[in-house]
Amino acid sequence: MCQPASDSMIIRSDRLAKLSVGTDWTPIEIMSEPFISVTFRGYAAATEVRVVATGLQYTLFIGAKSLTEPIERFRLAQGGKMLGLKLAIKKSDVNRTAPYEVRLIS
């Protein structure tokens, strides 16, 4: 089961552009611990990420189960911190509701 992060969650309404994930692997580095973002649908879990190929930073919404489960395993293996995790992510299909695939990269 998930364990809470050592720092308390922060609610943020100011955020970077949303990272849209496609069906090709996108290497990213997590640049913040998780926070809650205010969206048009209400609150949503998010983190700031840097796309390795471009160096640009985005907000990645991480509430999808297919993102949460692998990221949580990696977070726990890294002493409870998400900051600095390097991952490759992609959607398994072009369908909007397709699950994400996540792998740890060095």
What are the domain boundaries of the chain?
15-104
CATH code of domain 15-104: 2.40.50
- pLDDT one-digit tens code per residue, 50-77: 999 999 999 999 999 999 999 999 999 9
Among the listed residues 18, 92, 93, the one whose alpha carbon sits nearest the alpha carbon of residue 49? 18
pTM: 0.84
From the first residue on, what is the mean pLDDT of each consecutive set of 10 residues in the chain (106 residues)?
50 79 97 91 93 96 96 96 97 95 94
Q: Which DSSP string corresponds to 6-64? A: SSPP-EES---PBPPP-SS-EEEEE-S--EEEEETTEEEEEEEEEETTT--EEEEE--S
